[in-house]
């Protein structure tokens, strides 16, 4: 009888956590991350084992070189769109 009591206690705690998460999400306090902070923009394969990746992370563009020996950040700059550049040039 003891194991069933433990199972019911664990199930009750999980139900309480689920209810709390539901209400927090409904109020807008807890949000599921949609992956909007990391975006793959482009990939350029150089050889079968080497490639360049252009990634946008938190408003910055990062150029990453990938090889069998690892990854290297080649360049990182602020993210601007063409429309933002045109308005800044005026």
CA–CA distance, 17 with 43 (Å, rounded to integer)? 41
**Segment of 4-13, 18-27, 79-88 carrying the highest mean pLDDT:** 4-13
Report pLDDT for 15: 96
- Dist. CA 15–CA 21, nearest whole Å: 10
User: How confident is the model over 40-85, as pLDDT tens digits?
Assistant: 899 999 999 999 999 888 778 889 999 999 998 888 776 565 556 5
Q: Are 65 and 72 in contact (CB under 8 A)?
A: yes
Query: Exposure of 35 by Cβ count < 10 A (0-12 exposed, 13-18 middle, 19+ buried)?
Result: exposed
Q: pTM for this one? A: 0.48
For 83, the enclosing helix (H) or strand (E) is helix 82-89
């Amino acid at each position: 009888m003891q194991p069933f009591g433990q199972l019911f206690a664990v199930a009750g705690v999980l139900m309480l956590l689920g209810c709390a998460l539901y209400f927090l999400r409904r109020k807008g306090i807890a949000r599921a991350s949609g992956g909007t902070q990391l975006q793959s923009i482009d990939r350029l394969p150089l050889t079968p084992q080497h490639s360049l990746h252009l990634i946008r992370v938190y408003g910055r563009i990062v150029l990453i070189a990938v090889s069998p020996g690892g990854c290297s950040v080649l360049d990182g700059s602020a993210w601007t769109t063409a429309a933002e550049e045109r308005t800044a040039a005026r």
